[in-house]
Every structure is written in structure tokens, then in C-alpha cells.
Structure 1
Amino acid sequence: MQKTPFYKILYVQVIFAIVVGILLGHYFPAPENVTGAEAHWSAVDLKPLGDAFIKLIKMVIGPIIFCTVVTGIAGIHDMKQVGKVGAKALLYFEIVSTFALVIGLMSAHFFGPGVGMNIDPSHLNTKDIEKYTHAQHDGSLVDFLMSIIPNTLFSAFVDGNILQILLVAILFGAGLSRMGKTGAMVFELFEKISHVLFAVIGFITKLAPIGALGAMAFTIGKYGISALGPMLELILTFYFTAIVFVIVVLGAISYYVGFNIFKFIAYIKEELMIVLGTSSSESALPQLMRKLEHLGCAKPVVGLVIPTGYSFNLDGTNIYMTMAVLFIAQATNTDLSLLQQITILGVAMISSKGASGVTGAGFITLAATLAVVPDIPIAGMVLILGIDRFMSECRALTNITGNAVAAVVVSAWEKALDKDRMHKVLNKEIPFENH
């Protein structure tokens, strides 16, 4: 087998594009960041490249999830097993998400990134955070569950709501599974459509370096590397905590199931590079599903766990939320009782659900969490507004890694994981062909 030249490898191209994007953002910043002569062109003008790539991915995510789940469920012929898979996945999500929330809180206590800042909230300009505080969802569990039901069968696809599409797909797959031989033609049709959609994703994924360049150039050009300076301690604390969570918590889970977390991360490195460049875990979702099936996970399990985890298993977001809340409290010298901290954990468990498809989701969920503890000034969100974009990459990377591990774990629980194949794939004995 002929070795692919390094410059044709997707993750190498994405890394190169990220570096170029950083350089362009640094040397051609937004006009408001330039002193002296006015800049005629800046790196922020490349933002449409990143936005266009993510829009292309979003364009096919709904149909891919629908076809994958429908064919997966219809192929099982046993709705009890589907329900069992879903229940196990949700149980796993809640346990691991709780770990993430507690670890974020403990890390903020241990490192104290906001201690000593002595910020007076009354002196903060809250104009820039109004759109987030006004957009916060109320955290009601009933409202969240009702939002999963689409207004019509097709509105879920129009809105691109992952959970709504998943619900429609489960119902459609359940109906198809009861049709027996008469549904065979429909089943085959959806399988063929699924293959076509994954081929389309293959074409779009090749544009990942261009998307990463545009997104990174905009981030650095808009906010500047210098924006990292004053808040570097919080950024480093968050990144360190996320890395520890992946290596220790997810690593221990992986070891229990029977695979090495480092080999697993190496296996999904292309998807991680795409996420790093675009700051969106959504951008790598379709190809991640393909890779997990190639790894040896059952198609129905992947089809249920990955889309559901996209809303219910946001480990990186959970770490960020509890850490950000405690950071704001520390920076504004707000003392929190144990009961208040437990309340924050409980509310964060609810407010973090279903916000993955919302623009500025991290900030909106943070505002919703802060609202239940009036002692913490919501104006303190201004402190992390400028660096939130730099932390979103880490949130997205942790989220997608956590969901990928979850799919393998649930597959193993269901005895729907080909462990021999998994080891061969992770040891590079069976290469993944990206068509």
C-alpha cells in the first residue's frame, strides 16, 4: 500500500491552515485593533470562509442522522433493544456529565484563577453581554422536553434541530421495522441515500483547511492574541482541567472497556483538528459517526448515541460552566455557600442540555446558571466575554472526545462492539478510507 504524501493528509493541511490563520489574524487585525494608519483589509474579512464550511456541514447533518438512525433501528426489529440502548446512553451521559461539573468546580477552587482580581461589578460595561442574558433559556425541564417535539414532521429538518430530527428518525425507524418485507425497499432506499450523503460529506470535509483558516484568522484578527494576557490564568486552568478530564476520567473509562485513550485520540485526530479550527463539534459529527462504525461499533448504537450526546453529553461545556461561575464569584469577591454551589451544579445539569445548536450556547447557558444565584453579579460575564472564543475550541474538543468514547462504551455494554476489529483499527492494521 502506497503511503500518502504528508501534505495530502487532511489533519496536516488543517494544522497548516490554523497556523496561517493565526499569522494573518496577528499581522492583519481588525481596524479597531490597529493604531495609526487605517487598515483597508483585515483577517476578520475571512470569517465567511469558516461560516460557509460550517453551513455546508449543517446542510447534510440532519439527513445523515435521519438515514443512519432509521436504517439502524429498522435493522434491529426490536424496539425494546432500542429503548435499552437509549436508557443506557442517558445514564452514562448523566454520570459522566456530573463528573465534569464537579471537576470544573474543584479545579476552580484549587487554582483560584479569579482570586485577587477584586473587580467592582458596578464598573463593568454590560452592553456587550445583553444579547446573551436576554437569550438565556429558563432551564425548565418540561419546556426542554416539549422543545424536542417538532411542530411538523418536516420542521425539524428546516430548523436543523438535532434532537427533533432524532425523534422523527426513531419514530420512522420504528414504523419501518414493523412493515417486514414490505418495508424492505424503503430500507434499501435509505441505505443508498445514506451512502450518497456520506460521499457528499467526504467532498465537504476536504474543504476543512479553508474553513479552519477563515475561522482562526477571524478569531485572532478580531480579539488579538494580546486579549489572552490578562485572563491567561483562567484559560490555562480550563485547558489543563479539560486535558486531565480526558486523560484521567475518559482514560479510565476507556481502560475499563478495553482500549487505550491515546490510541483512540490518534484515530480521531482528523476530526479533532477540524473541530480545533472551526470551534464547532458539529463540523466533524458526520465523519466521526463513520469512523466509529469503522472502528467496530454497531450502526444503531452510533446513530443513537452521537446525536443524543450532542445535546446531553457536553463534558467540555460542563467543565467550563462551573469553572466560569466560580471564577466570576472569585473575581468579584462573592462568597458562595455549599448549598449555593450544589444549586449551581443542579441547575447547570439542566441548563446545559439542548443548547448545542444555539449561537453563543456557552454564554447563554452560563447566563441561565448565574440567574439562579443572585449573589453572583451577572455583569461579571463581561470579564470572560473577550476570551470565550479562545476557550470554545477546548470545549468543542472535549465534547466530541467525550461523545466518541460514549459511543464505544455503550456499544460494549450492548455487546455490539467488535473488539478484535477495534484493536486492529487502533493499531492501524485496518486503515480508514476517507472517500
Structure 2
Amino acid sequence: MVAVGTEAHEHAVSKPFYKVLYVQVLIAIALGVAFGWLDPQAAQADWVKALGDGFIKLIKMMIAPIIFCTVVSGIAHISDAKKVGRVGVKALVYFEVVSTFALAFGLLIGNLVRPGAGFSGGHADAAAVQKYEHAAHEPHSAVDFLLGVIPDSVVGAFAKGDVLQVLFFAILFGFALMAMGRRGETLLDFIDQAANATFGVINIVMKAAPLGAFGAMAYTVGKYGPQSLGNLAGLVATFYLTAGLFVFLVLGTIARVAGFSIFRFLSYIKSELLLVLGTSSSESALPALMEKLERLGCSKPVVGLVVPTGYSFNLDGTNIYMTLASLFIAQALDVHLTFSQQMTILLVAMLTSKGASGVTGAGFVTLAATLAVVDPRLVPGMAIVLGVDKFMSECRALTNFIGNGVATVVVSWSEGELDRDKLNAALSRPVDVAAARTGVATG
């Protein structure tokens, strides 16, 4: 990565406010909401939808090469193979513990608030949910999941953009390059330079972020509109409240133990959070998050291993959604769930959330799979929440995104590879990454 000096920092902080990325994205989101609200028909035009979809595709095309270069470089630069395994095990243990907290948190709030109690109306067409039911009943056993991590071909993994398959190959390639020693230095240097080039492409693509956010928000509001919330507004509000409490109480406590403030961390990644909010996709800001975490003082190997792995295994927002939505549907259909059935939701959701990673509409697919196991009577009730699922997808993506950022800092801290000076400096005076890189380039 390119080092950012004092001149670059001054260049970043002295920019006019309207040239700062997160301000542009925030303005674009507001304009998109206004456009969708005032002229919903025009907001549903193909060209509007294409703005959001096109930007996400631009970002997604770079995720596989960035993950490959970052993971290979991170592993190859470590001389101790045991250390790589230790980081991976720590990350997975952390993911499982925090994910369980997220599932339990959703159950707790769902039982306390009972957003589905007394529900009336909202009898959506159950046929609309059939595609999710079909995906939920496809085999997602542990063996299927493990075999799915192995790509049919290396080229195929990159072509599909399957994060787990690319990660699997990158880990093997990184260990092979590590074993080559001095003979692999030329290839390693090439991969390092390729990583810099791919991040350079991301910086170019990010200039289109406001357009992407505008298109995505305008289309969403235009198509679904505030009127589609109806009686389900309580579920949406409860979900946002629950996710917020989880971030500030659970993740905030974890951050405090690791020695940093969750509020300052959120301020540091505010540009990326707004991008996730505008596009409803954590993928859109994944490369920028990896770069910012390195600037925050996290070691490159930890960032390269934890962030891509967390993308599939650390889905805090999705976990909260599954337990909370399950209880909402049961309450709305007046189906009493015993304590053992609620514990079954928790246990099944821990598995289904991993098995459906990378599937379009993964949150809804995992919900269908969970309900089918707990009580088949609940599955048709998914049609009730289908209309507002889009409004909750932003919150799922935001919570997942924040959780992965916190996890990376925590694992770096536990490994003794967190640069406290960089951490404190970055959190006290956040730097706009794109502006900083421009400052370095222009001198």
C-alpha cells in the first residue's frame, strides 16, 4: 500500500466539503429518496435501476482479484505457517461466538417487543416466496458446503466471483509461494504490485459511487414506497433498533475491551457505511474497508484472512434478522413457539447462515431454511415479510459490514499486530482514502 504522509493528510482535510466522497454519497442518497418519492414511475425506469446495479457490478468484478492478491501476499510475507493457521482459527472462533450472540440478541428482543403480536392484514401472495422455499430445500449439508468451497476450476472460481472458492485457492497459493522462499520473491513482488493496481482501479470506480447510490435508492423507494410498510413498520423499526443495540452494546463492548471506541470506528468508516446504505450491498465497500483497516494499523495478513472469511462466516445482521423475523412470523400467525423450538431456531440458523452465503437473497433463503426445520406451518408466513425485506436488507448489510471491521481489529489486537499509534491517529483524525491517495500521487 502507498504510505500517506503529512502533506497528503493536509490535502485530504482541506478539500471543500462537496468534494468529499461520503458527502457526495449522502447527497446522492437524499436526492434518490426524493426522486423515488415524488415520481415513483420514473424512478422505476431501467436506466435508474442500471445506475445502482452497474456500480455494484463494477465493484464485484474487482473483489476476486483483490482477495486473491491480498491473501497470497499476506501469507507469503509470513515465514511461520503456524501463525497463518492460528489467525484463521481465532477468526472462526470469534465469528461463531459473536454470531451466537447476534442470534440470541434477536430472540431476546423478539420476545420482549413481540412486534408480530396482534398483526392483522398483509396477506401477501404466498407464490412470491416459492423461489426462496425452493432454494431453502436444496441440500445444504456440511459435506455439500465443504465440497462447494473447492472450485471445479481455478478460472471458474474467479469467473463466478465465489469468495470462499477464491479464498481457498489463495490460501493454497500463498503457502506454496511461502515454501518457495527466495525463488518466489519475483512472483511475490508482482502480486504486490498487482494488488496496488487493483486498488487503483477501485479508486477510479469509486468516483461513480454517488451515481450508484442515487440509482439504487431512487429505484427502491420508487418501487416499494413508504406505503408498502403498512402494519409491518413495527418489524422494520424493531429490526433497526435491535441491530443498533447490538452494534453499540455488543460490538461496542468488544471494541472497548480491544482498546478503541466503536463510535470513532464508525466515524472512520462513514464513507463506506453510506455506500453500503445506498447500494444495500456490503460488497460495494469491501475493498475500501480492507484498505482502511490496514491504514488503521491492522496487519496486512490479518486483514487479508479475516475480512474475506468474515464475508461468509460473520453475518451478524443476517443472524439477528433470522431470529427476529422467525418470531415475528410465529406471532403474526399465532403459532406458539416453545423454548426448545426457539433454541432450535438458534442452532439451525447457525448452520443455514453459513450454507447460503453467496446466494442471491441469502437472508431470505436462510430464513426459509430455518422455518422449514422448526415448524413447516411458518414457511408460508414468509410472504408477510417479503414486501419489507428490501427495507431490512440495508440494515443487514450495514451490521454485517461493521461486524467484520470490528472482528479484524480484534483479531489483529489478539495477535499483537495492531499498531496502536496508527489506530489512535486514524480514529482521532480520519483520512479520506481516495483523497489521501490522490495527495500522494500528485505530491
**Paired residue for 1:34?**
none
Tell me how far 1:314 sits from its aligned partner: 0.3
Kept after mapping to 1: 8 A contact 2:20/2:432: no
1:16 aligns with 2:34: no
Q: For residues 32 and 297 of structure 2, what CA distance do their matches in structure 1 show?
A: 36
Tell me how far 1:43 sits from its aligned partner: 3.5
**Paired residue for 1:130?**
130
AA of the residue aligned to 2:127: K
Tell me how far 1:228 sits from its aligned partner: 2.0
Q: For residues 431 and 208 of structure 1, what CA distance do their matches in structure 2 show?
A: 14
Q: For residues 125 and 266 of structure 1, what CA distance do their matches in structure 2 show?
A: 41
Kept after mapping to 2: 8 A contact 1:65/1:165: yes
**Paired residue for 1:348?**
349
Tell me how far 1:124 sits from its aligned partner: 5.0
Kept after mapping to 2: 8 A contact 1:328/1:381: yes
Q: For residues 83 and 236 of structure 1, what CA distance do their matches in structure 2 show?
A: 41
Kept after mapping to 2: 8 A contact 1:124/1:379: no
1:50 aligns with 2:52: yes
User: Given the superposition, is the C-alpha separation of residues 429 and 44 from structure 1 closer, same or farther in structure 2, using an over 3 Å criterion?
Assistant: closer
1:396-435 aligned at under 5 Å gives the runs 396-428=397-429, 432=433, 433-435=436-438
Q: For residues 68 and 337 of structure 2, what CA distance do their matches in structure 1 show?
A: 45
Kept after mapping to 1: 8 A contact 2:141/2:355: no
Structure 2 gap segments, 5+ residues each: 1-9, 439-443
**Paired residue for 2:115?**
113
**Paired residue for 2:5?**
none
Q: For residues 160 and 245 of structure 2, what CA distance do their matches in structure 1 show?
A: 36
AA of the residue aligned to 1:85: V
Q: For residues 120 and 146 of structure 2, what CA distance do their matches in structure 1 show?
A: 40
**Paired residue for 1:67?**
69
Tell me how far 1:79 sits from its aligned partner: 1.4
SS in 1 for 2:150: coil
Name the TM-score, length of structure 1 as normaliser.
0.95
Q: For residues 352 and 299 of structure 2, what CA distance do their matches in structure 1 show?
A: 31
SS in 2 for 1:293: helix
**Paired residue for 2:230?**
229
AA of the residue aligned to 2:110: A
SS in 2 for 1:151: coil
Deviation string, structure 1 residues 77-107 (Cα, Å, up to 9, x no partner) = 2211100000000000000000000000111
Structure with more of its chain in helix, by fraction: 2
Out of 212-221 and 124-133, give the one that drifted further: 124-133
1:175-214 aligned at under 5 Å gives the runs 175-214=176-215
Alignment root-mean-square deviation, CA:
1.4
**Paired residue for 2:6?**
none
**Paired residue for 1:163?**
164
Count of residues in correspondence between the two structures: 423
AA of the residue aligned to 1:23: A
User: Given the superposition, is the C-alpha separation of residues 158 and 431 from structure 1 closer, same or farther in structure 2, using an over 3 Å criterion?
Assistant: closer
SS in 2 for 1:179: helix
**Paired residue for 2:291?**
290
**Paired residue for 1:313?**
314
Structure 1 gap segments, 5+ residues each: 31-40
Q: For residues 431 and 217 of structure 2, what CA distance do their matches in structure 1 show?
A: 33
SS in 2 for 1:207: helix
Deviation string, structure 1 residues 180-213 (Cα, Å, up to 9, x no partner) = 1110000000000000000000011111110011
**Paired residue for 2:267?**
266
Deviation string, structure 1 residues 296-339 (Cα, Å, up to 9, x no partner) = 00000000000000000000000000000010000000011111
Deviation string, structure 1 residues 209-241 (Cα, Å, up to 9, x no partner) = 100111111111111111123211101100000
Q: For residues 406 and 65 of structure 2, what CA distance do their matches in structure 1 show?
A: 24
SS in 2 for 1:231: helix
Kept after mapping to 2: 8 A contact 1:227/1:386: yes
**Paired residue for 1:240?**
241
